[in-house]
Amino acid sequence: MNTQPRLAPNHPIGDEVRRTTCYMCACRCGINVHMKSGEVAYIEGNRDHPINKGVLCAKGASGIMQINAPSRLRAPLKRVGPRGSGAFEEITWDEALDLAVSWLKPLRETAPEKLAFFTGRDQSQSFTGWWAQAFGTPNYAAHGGFCSVNMAAGGIYTIGGAFWEFGQPDWDRTKLFILFGVAEDHDSNPIKIGLGKLKARGVRVVGVNPIRTGYNAVADDWLGITPGTDGLLILSLIHCLFQAGKIDLDYLAQFTNAPLLVVEDGPEAGMILKNAESQPFVIDRTTGQPAPWDAKSVQPDLGAVYQGNRTVFQHMAQRYLAPEYAPEAVADRCGIPAPRIRALAADLARIAFDEAIEIAQPWTDFRGNSHDKMIGRPVSFHAMRGISAHSNGFQTARALHLLQIILGSVETPGGYRLKPPYPKPIEAHPTPHFTAAAGKPLAGPHLGYVRHPEQLALKPDGSPARIDKAFTWDAPFSAHGLMHMLIPNAHAGDPYRIDTLFLYMANMAWNSSMNSGEVIKMLTDKGADGDYVIPRIIYSDAYASEMVAYADLILPDTTYMERYDCISLLDRPISEPDAAGDSIRWPVVEPDRDVRPFQSVLLDLGARLGLAPMVKEDGKPKFKDYADYIQNHIRRPGVGPLIGWRGADGSQTGRGDANPNQLDRYIENGGFFQAHVPAEGAFYKPWNMAYQDWAVQTSLFESPQPYLFSIYSEPMRRFQAAAEGIGPHQPPDHLRETLKRAMDPLPIWYSPYAENDFTIHALTQRPMDMYHSWGSQNAWLRQIRGRNFLYIPTKIWEAHGFKDGDYARVTSPTGEIVVPAAHMAALNEHTVWTWNAIGKRKGAWALDDDAPESTTGFLLNHLISELLPDIGDGIRRSNSDPVTGQAAWFDLRVKIENAGPHVAASPAFAPISRAVPRGKTRKAPPRKVSQ
């Protein structure tokens, strides 16, 4: 006998679905927010959205716990006790803004550089940068310098694009995918969707990573490489391919600077040989004579020698055929057996050349030559922070692009595809602007791509123009600034003293700084006069992070569901290889606290300061709020923050006047817009006229910008030559040797490590279910990952007699931590690691003081210093890549001891006073559907 309850599971989910953009990490997926009785009830992925196509990660689906988190700041706060004491009083917004104006206005009128405005995980950099430019301070950047600038700049300087929002593998066509160390929050769902596609097709996935978790867990082959040696492995693969002649010569000849000639001798040695019109040229194979590089039907000769000057290709061959790159020579250093390297090279060659694919799509290149099909080399790569956060990361990123290029797989079917507005040649990027003048805006954008030593951000006396010393000889190509140097430099008054530090969404008093304890001291340090060394600190964040306690004025931001945002093609858009795309966030719920969206506050502040682009002629504010700006700001004629539905009637794409209903159109469309690349322009984009014309029409460029891939980097050679003593712009002597090596114009590998007896590599990884600090305030995510362990490989585990429950004492040249240890076999035998940013300071994030994040949770940051130990010349060099200044987090090496059982990790910091009360219960979901 069976009877069962009558169940009618057929009810509406909610009253309404509001489609906006996620902000639980940097991935920017589309979300459907299901509302019940005006409250958020459930969040799922938006199937129509180009980024996530309906799926959503663990963080995104937990957004409901974030927007209701007890850690949300509630009102503007003014510091009343000593800095760091956490003693604040609530003030009104008018008081807060008046106070900020009283600090900033005198700076603008006398010395705008005394404001340093740095934003962290900001997704409105084209706006915040514009604001800083209007203010006139050269001291603006976001967090890229301590994140992944090597990856971005290495790519831009080589192929005119990079990974993540710059490009992605051709997931639907590739037949072999190789993944190098990844930051999981970068392109998180797209990579997972892509991996899923590969797995469904049975495509082989190779993981190159010291740690076999996550994506590497599903990799068919895992190369557990020793950290910092990825470049060596890549160059060894290149060696094998060169040795066997398995390189795409036609691709190299047509689309790269491999056939250009390199000046052999003289003062111009190493530069690309130019003709009388100062243009580079090639030798045509059919005539044996010089020919313009972009001439129709030219057949560039890769093997030419012209007046004693050899081609780039010959320089490449000579370097990479050298026995030092043979697999047998690199195997031990990389921790990968030589036969595995040779097997991988053979796979790459076989699939790229023997399993090449063709798409019957005619296209025309920039030389005017017609092609009847598109040939693809279906091997693809992706890389991110794992190779980037080393002091050789720039060269390693370049090496990886070189590998893709010699296989002919960049921008070809089955290979690596760039996403509009990329590809974009280096010449199409701005150079840095940095000259501050009292009461004046900056002449142009702060950040850019330096091509020549004369473009460095140096004052006439040779001293750095920027507080972070970006674009100096210390870090010539620091395209994202050096946020990790900001506080140490400001504290040291080197290169000069600043007055106000203005930070947005950057947890510099904790997990976003190297050496957090020292940074905390710098923030609270007082000079002989009894004033703080960094006189004023303004901070904006939505949550009670560790940084809040160290600010003098808090401007509380909204959560991502309570605001407008603009993910713009002027900044870091959501394009796909087949479409330019941008998107918005919009307030799906109203704030229940006295908080304001930061961007609207900046506009208000700008108007109160009288910054020209933010006020009308009558001095009244030009923009009501950020939404008004998004819709009505005109960056250059016809071009604004969003490309969709432009023109008064919304009929135009890319270019057109402001549309008063633009945001409504975005909201109707699910919060995003896409402009599709024509089929003829889908591949070979840097050289494909159909794409170039479309890009101009879509406002990505003002004119077509075809270019050759820079295998040989002339900008780098200029800096190398300067280091050799050539030219009027000369680096300081202590940097010469470093620059000679690091600025090699052809990709090279050098050890990122100092020789010392700290021999164990120590890394962090970002879990897929936490975004930096944010996850710990999330009632669901912190149950999944509320504590972290130091994972120790079998050999070290056994050698030190570790048992479950033991703690490890980990020491670096600059610090020591004692932390919970755990065993892991699927790990490079010289490497230990932990999850990033799980450790929390007591009192922050509305957590209990006994929360595991604050007791056993820990950071590796305490082991890392922004300056390396003195090597004997009295100079402490920056712990960063000498080319870009990228923070070399992953260069960390340590010693390990078994510390036995402990109850809590150390160092333990004293609790900070709470900016919000401790969280008690979490909000229950709304139950009632009003329908």
Task: Report 332-391 residues binding other proteins (CB under 8 A).
Answer: 339-340, 342-347, 349
Residue 249 or 867 having the CB closest to other proteins = 249
Q: Binder to other proteins among 215, 564, 666, 672 (CB under 8 A)?
A: 215
Q: Specify whether the backbone of 186 is left (phi greater than 0), alpha (psi in -120 to 50) or beta.
A: beta
Nearer to other proteins, 469 or 787 (CB): 787
When the beta carbons of 60 and 464 are compared against other proteins, the nearer one is: 60
Out of 25, 33, 35, 57, point to the residue binding other proteins (CB under 8 A): 57
Report the residue from 129, 224, 228, 448 that binds other proteins according to the rule CB under 8 A.
224
Q: Does 220 bind other proteins (CB under 8 A)?
A: yes
| Shortest spacing between CB 688 and other proteins, in angstroms | 22
Distances (CA, A) of 370 to 222, 302, 365: 42, 22, 6
> Smallest distance from the beta carbon of 487 to other proteins, in angstroms?
29
Nearest distance from C-beta of residue 831 to other proteins, angstroms: 13
Among 125, 168, 216, 662, binds other proteins (CB under 8 A): 216
Nearer to other proteins, 431 or 856 (CB): 856
Name residues contacting other proteins, limited to 260-289 (CB under 8 A).
285
In angstroms, give the least distance from the CB of 320 to other proteins: 11
> 3-class SS at 517?
helix
Q: Which residue is listed with tokens 């503007």?
A: 76
Query: Which of these ranges, 5-13, 354-362, 566-574, 879-887, lies near other proteins under the rule CB under 8 A?
Result: 5-13
What is the DSSP code (8-state) at residue 866?
Answer: S
Q: Give the CA radius of gyration of the chain.
A: 27
**Interaction residues for other proteins, span 164-203 (CB under 8 A):** 188-189, 192-193, 195-197, 199-200
Rounded to an integer, what distance in angstroms lies between the CA atom of residue 730 and that of residue 449? 19
What residues numbered 9-38 form the site for other proteins, per CB under 8 A?
9-13, 36
Size of the site for other proteins (CB under 8 A): 110
Query: Whole-number minimum distance, CB 130 to other proteins, in Å?
Result: 34
Three-state DSSP state, 129:
helix
Distance from C-alpha of 817 to C-alpha of 810, rounded to nearest angstrom? 5
Which CB, 51 or 555, lies closer to other proteins? 51
The nearest distance, CB 59 to other proteins, in angstroms, is 8
CA distances (Å), origin 648, targets 651, 652, 655, 656? 8, 9, 11, 8
Tell which positions 855-874 bind other proteins, by CB under 8 A.
Answer: 855
Judged by CB under 8 A, which stretch of 619-627, 642-650, 884-892, 922-930 contacts other proteins? 922-930
Q: Checking DSSP bridges between strand 305-306 and strand 309-311, what pairing results, if any?
A: antiparallel
d(Cα 381, Cα 180) in Å, to the nearest integer? 8
Closest to other proteins by CB, 301 or 557: 301
Distance CA(918)–CA(905), nearest Å, equals 22
Cβ closest to other proteins, residue 140 vs residue 242: 242
Cβ atoms 401, 158 nearer than 8 A: yes
Q: How far is the CB of 202 from other proteins (least distance, A)?
A: 8
Helix 598-609 and helix 93-110, axial crossing angle in degrees, nearest 10: 50
Residues with Cβ < 8 Å from 62, sequence gap 6 or more?
24, 778, 780, 781
- Least distance in Å: CB of 582 to other proteins? 22
Residues 572-601, interacting with other proteins (CB under 8 A):
none
Residue with smaller CB distance to other proteins, 201 or 616: 201
How far is Cα 152 from Cα 165, in angstroms, rounded to an integer?
A: 10
Nearer to other proteins, 411 or 853 (CB): 853
- The C-alpha atoms of residue 138 and residue 465 are separated, in whole angstroms, by 7
Q: At what angle do helices 230-243 and 327-334 cross, to 10 degrees?
A: 160
Q: Please report, for residues 210, 745, 757, 826, 893, the alpha-carbon distance to residue 794 in angstroms, rounded to integers and kept in the order given.
A: 14, 40, 20, 9, 18
For residues 700-719, which are near other proteins according to CB under 8 A?
A: none
Helix, coil or strand: residue 715: helix
Residue 918 near other proteins by CB under 8 A: yes
Which is nearer to other proteins, 145 or 852 (by Cβ)? 852
Contacts of 782 (CB under 8 A, 6+ apart): 775, 776, 847, 851, 853
Structure tokens at 441: 């805006």
CA angle (312, 315, 318) in 5-degree steps = 150
CB of 208 to other proteins, least distance (A): 13
Rounded CA-CA distance 42/383 in Å is 33
Cis amide prior to 573 (ω within 30 degrees): no
User: What is d(CA 124, CA 287) in angstroms, rounded to the nearest whole number?
Assistant: 52
User: Which residues from 284-323 bind other proteins, rule CB under 8 A?
Assistant: 285, 301-303, 314, 317-318, 321
Nearest distance from C-beta of residue 383 to other proteins, angstroms = 17
CB of 712 to other proteins, least distance (A): 17
Stretch that binds other proteins, among 130-138, 240-248, 269-277, 392-400 (CB under 8 A): 240-248
Q: Which region among 47-55, 371-379, 528-536, 541-549 touches other proteins (by CB under 8 A)?
A: 47-55
Task: Looking at residues 511 to 540 of the shown chain, list those that interact with other proteins (rule: CB under 8 A).
Answer: none
CB of 824 to other proteins, least distance (A): 7
Q: Which of 660, 704, 901, 925 binds other proteins (CB under 8 A)?
A: 925
Distances (CA, A) of 927 to 32, 591, 920: 18, 20, 21
Residue 200 or 360 with smaller CB distance to other proteins: 200
End-to-end CA distance of the chain: 38
Of the candidate residues 64, 111, 555, 675, the single one contacting other proteins (CB under 8 A)? 64
399: Cβ–Cβ under 8 A, 6 or more apart, which residues?
231, 234, 235, 238, 747, 748, 749
How far apart are CB 902 and other proteins at their closest, in Å?
A: 17
The residues pairing with 375 across neighbouring beta strands, listed in sequence order, are: 358
Which of 241, 387, 486, 864 is close enough to bind other proteins by CB under 8 A?
241
Residue holding tokens 């009003």? 930
For residue 511, give both structure tokens: 């997990």
- Binders of other proteins among residues 813 to 832 (CB under 8 A) are 824-827
Burial classification of residue 537, based on how many CB atoms lie within 10 Å of its CB (0-12 exposed, 13-18 middle, 19 or more buried): buried
Closest distance of CB 750 from other proteins, Å:
23
Answer yes or no: are the C-beta atoms of 565 and 123 closer than 8 Å. Answer: yes
Binding residues among 758-797 for other proteins as defined by CB under 8 A: 768-769, 777, 779-787
Q: Does 58 bind other proteins (CB under 8 A)?
A: yes
Both tokens assigned to 917 = 């009360």
Round to whole Å and give the CA distance between 721 and 743: 9
Site string (869-908) toward other proteins, x via CB under 8 A: ----------------------------------------
The residue among 826 and 867 lying less far from other proteins, judged by its C-beta, is: 826
Is the CB of 899 or the CB of 916 nearer to other proteins?
Answer: 916
Distance in Å, CB of 562 to other proteins, minimum = 19
Chosen residue from 20, 21, 52, 139 binding other proteins by CB under 8 A: 52
Q: How far is the CB of 48 from other proteins (least distance, A)?
A: 11
Q: How many CB atoms lie within 10 A of CB 3?
A: 5
Smallest gap from Cβ 206 to other proteins, in A, equals: 8
Identity at 261, one-letter amino acid code: L
State which residue, 337 or 869, has the beta carbon closest to other proteins: 337
Kindly state whether residue 851 participates in binding other proteins, applying the rule CB under 8 A. yes
